Structure 1
Amino acid sequence: MLTAVTGINWGDEGKGRVIDLLAEQADVVVRYQGGNNAGHTVVTDQGKFVLNLLPSGILHPGVVCVLGDGMVVDLEHLSREIHEIEKKGIRVTPDHLKLSKRATISMPWHKVQDELEENRLAKTDSAFGSTRRGIAYAYSDKYRKKTLRLGDLLHLKEDSVKARLKTMLEAKNLELAGCYHQEPMSYPALLTWCEEQAELFGPYIADTGEFLEQALSEDKKVVLEAQLGAMRDIDYGIFPYTSSSSTISAYGPIGAGIPGKSLDHVVGVLKAYSTCVGAGPFVAEKAMSDAWEEELRKAGGEYGAATGRPRRVGPFDAVASRYGLKCQNADIIALTKMDVLSSMKEIPVITGYKQDGVIVMDFDPMEELESYTPVIEMLPGWDCDISSCRTYDELPEKAKSYIRILEQLLNHEIQFISVGARRDQFLTKGAWL
């Protein structure tokens, strides 16, 4: 069975929490796009884990984790991330973690370029809100054919690989010197860096597409893990305030390395309210007062897992969520962080947008979204702790009513509800995987 877990909104929906639960029954978990520019947070008995590159299944010893073809991989960051989880007792070996030979390497200069350009744009108040981790530049060089793939590290002694490395370094030095007046990078230093990465990660690099084909032929359960959400997709998101990869479920098999396979299920993850990290239009933050937003931010611990930046927050946005749900084609919806709303007497929900007095019900990322204001409906809160609920029937009636109204707005049943950060703090309703 092949299942993708994707974000319906701007990212930070709680996908790591859902993937961690699915991984209990999975054989393989695969990241299929992005890099270390976003994070998944998982809380277990061993503590709190913030994972940027490693799939959330890495916390389960019986699961094989894969960094897929569609990713850009910062190997220095990956090394630190492995070291951090091993300090908490999670063992990572080549049997446990496999790196696709086709995945793109985030080279040392990509972070440098990202930092320099974001600083330049910031002077004119036109920065994109980049995480400054070099993701856009790694993807740009992938499509310009001016970077290495992980499999190239296994062939550094070959003249053809060395020639490519020299050619791409020459081009990069011209860019950095001409645009940003930087000193040129050294080829011997770059080659040494590559050799060090090859020694460290060589045993992990494999033909992961072949591995996944074999796993599926043996009826194993494979979970594909997306980063960010539909609003950050390079093609269907709020361009140019997007990521540099495809966050859409349809790309999952391609980015995983099994382009001929079809998904059996798509789990779309939503928060019980809206959050957003980074720049770009976010209609939900126009809904309530700054004090209301700050209270919600503190209650939900809404700070970026990768960056630590305070997330922009607002009420649940049914307009944006319907669009994200259509993009992801999810047959199962997981709703996270219901417990965060428990102290509210009334809970706002965005049911439409308004522009020049006209109500708009459809989300179009090509429109001038900054000109829209939210249409708010206030719903009664349940005003009690729900974190101990383990069945749908145990929820207070007003919490059930909130879920039913979201289902009506989305025209889709919600099958999974998270009521806390711990692994056991969830309940299901309807068919679940």
Structure 2
Amino acid sequence: MLTAIVGINWGDEGKGRMVDLLSREYDVVARYQGGNNAGHTVVNDQGKFILNLLPSGILRPEVVNVMGNGMVIDLKHLCGEMDRLIEAGVRITPENLKISERAIICMPYHVQQDVLEEDRLGDAKYGSTRRGIGPVYGDKYLKKCLRMGDLLYPETLEKRLAGIVEWKNLTIRGAYGADTVKVNDLMSWLCSFGGRLKPFICDTGLYLDGAAREGKNILFEAQLGALRDIDFGIYPYTSSSYVLSAYAPIGAGIPGRKLDRSIGIMKAYSTCVGEGPFTAELFGEPAERLREAGGEYGAATGRPRRVGPFDAVASRYGVRVQGADCLALTKLDVLSYLKEIPICTGYEVDGVLTREFPFGDILNTARPVFETVEGWNCDISGCRRVSDLPRAAYDYIKLLEKLVGCPIQYVSVGPQREAYLKMF
């Protein structure tokens, strides 16, 4: 079984929590895109963990974790993340963590360029996390990057780096007037952090193909959500990679394989980190209450998330482009304080009602159309069966199913590993 767990909206839907839960049924968990620009928060009996780069299956000792060729890896950040988990008692060895030799290295000058460009843009900024993701993906397609496998060949590494640095300094100095980077400093950085990671670097495509041939269950883990995809998201306020389920086998290393199932993750309400159109956004006191109830602050950056009611228009679009076979609804318990719950069921564009997600700049003028349903106004965090749910909570779930056109199989009612119920 090859399954992808993917975000339906703007990211931060709770994918890490669901990967941690469902990974008990899988032999391998593979991250297939992105870098340390987003975080997956997992709460289990070992504690609370925020994972930026490591697959969420790393918290299950029996699961093999793969960092695929579609990822961009900040070596220093990865080493620090590994250290924090090891200190907490998590086992990390070359047997349960495998890093693709084809994954791209996110260098310090990528972070520097990201910061310089966001500062240059000022009020027109894209809302970057300033962790080098845009510049490193740009360099990847310009073929001006180092890959993790290059760390295994020190005799050619410095020569490759020198050629890239000469080119990169033309931008850093010429475009931004900033201090240039030096080959010696970067080689020290690569050796210091890359040296420790060498035992984990391998041909993950070969490993995954072998696992698939043996009939092992593989779970593909995405970062962010459909509306942040470089092609199908709210461009240019997107990530710089392909976050959709269709890319999972490619970004993990087995492009010849096909998915058996795509599980979409969406919140019971809407959240968004960063810039760009967010039609259903709440403001003022209602937004503050929802943000505090849900603890809506970015796992990677700590930035307050923009919040709003459930957006059926955006979610239906996300379900379609992710090819979701079923859904997991997270943070339903957060809405328990509300006597009435608003839902965005449509957009008004130039006076015309639409229920389809618009393209580009049309989103900037779209206005939300809200409908209100009865809330349950009681604690549901202890519910473990459908029969435990208040009628209003059950009706809310079934309404969201109808609005997005996809069955909801899992419902999360708390951050703990077992705080969920299955609808069927």
If the length of structure 1 is used for normalisation, what is the TM-score? 0.96
Letter in 1 for 2:5: V
Look up the match of 2:82.
82
Are the aligned partners of 1:355 and 1:371 in contact in 2 as well (CA < 8 Å)?
A: yes
1:301-340 → structure 2 map (5 Å cutoff): 301-340=295-334
Q: Does 1:142 align with 2:136?
A: no
Shift of 1:281: 0.1
Q: Describe the SS at the equivalent of 2:280.
A: helix
Shift of 1:175: 1.0
**Equivalent residue for 1:383, pick from 374, 377, 387:** 377
Q: Describe the SS at the equivalent of 2:360.
A: coil
Over residues 343-396 of structure 1, what are the superposed CA-to-partner deviations in whole Å (9 max), with x where a residue is unaligned?
A: 100000011001232111100233421101111010000011111110111101
Over residues 153-175 of structure 1, what are the superposed CA-to-partner deviations in whole Å (9 max), with x where a residue is unaligned?
A: 101213xx433211101011111
Q: Does 1:199 align with 2:187?
A: no
Over residues 17-48 of structure 1, what are the superposed CA-to-partner deviations in whole Å (9 max), with x where a residue is unaligned?
A: 11001111211100000000000000011211
1:56-135 → structure 2 map (5 Å cutoff): 56-122=56-122, 125-135=123-133
Are the aligned partners of 1:153 and 1:197 in contact in 2 as well (CA < 8 Å)?
A: no
Look up the match of 1:398.
392
Look up the match of 1:30.
30
Letter in 2 for 1:317: D
Partner Cα separation in structure 2 for residue 72 and residue 364 of structure 1: 30
Are the aligned partners of 2:64 and 2:95 in contact in 1 as well (CA < 8 Å)?
A: yes
- The alpha-carbon distance between structure 1 residues 365 and 39, as it changes in their structure 2 partners (threshold 3 A), is farther
Over residues 112-145 of structure 1, what are the superposed CA-to-partner deviations in whole Å (9 max), with x where a residue is unaligned?
A: 00111111112xx101100000001110111111
Are the aligned partners of 2:21 and 2:418 in contact in 1 as well (CA < 8 Å)?
A: no
Would you say how many aligned residue pairs link Structure 1 and Structure 2?
424
1:215-230 → structure 2 map (5 Å cutoff): 215-230=211-226
Partner Cα separation in structure 1 for residue 194 and residue 38 of structure 2: 25
Q: Describe the SS at the equivalent of 1:340.
A: helix
Are the aligned partners of 2:329 and 2:412 in contact in 1 as well (CA < 8 Å)?
A: yes
Look up the match of 1:363.
357
Letter in 1 for 2:207: F
Shift of 1:183: 2.4
Shift of 1:410: 1.1
Partner Cα separation in structure 2 for residue 400 and residue 230 of structure 1: 26
Note the residue ranges of structure 2 that are not aligned, 5 or more in a row: none
Letter in 1 for 2:171: E
Partner Cα separation in structure 2 for residue 356 and residue 332 of structure 1: 34
Letter in 2 for 1:387: S
Structure 1 residue runs of 4+, over 6 Å off? none
Shift of 1:289: 4.6
Q: Describe the SS at the equivalent of 2:242.
A: coil
Note the residue ranges of structure 1 that are not aligned, 5 or more in a row: none
Look up the match of 1:251.
247
Letter in 1 for 2:11: G
Look up the match of 2:342.
348
Letter in 2 for 1:310: P
Are the aligned partners of 1:70 and 1:103 in contact in 2 as well (CA < 8 Å)?
A: yes
| Percent pairwise identity | 57
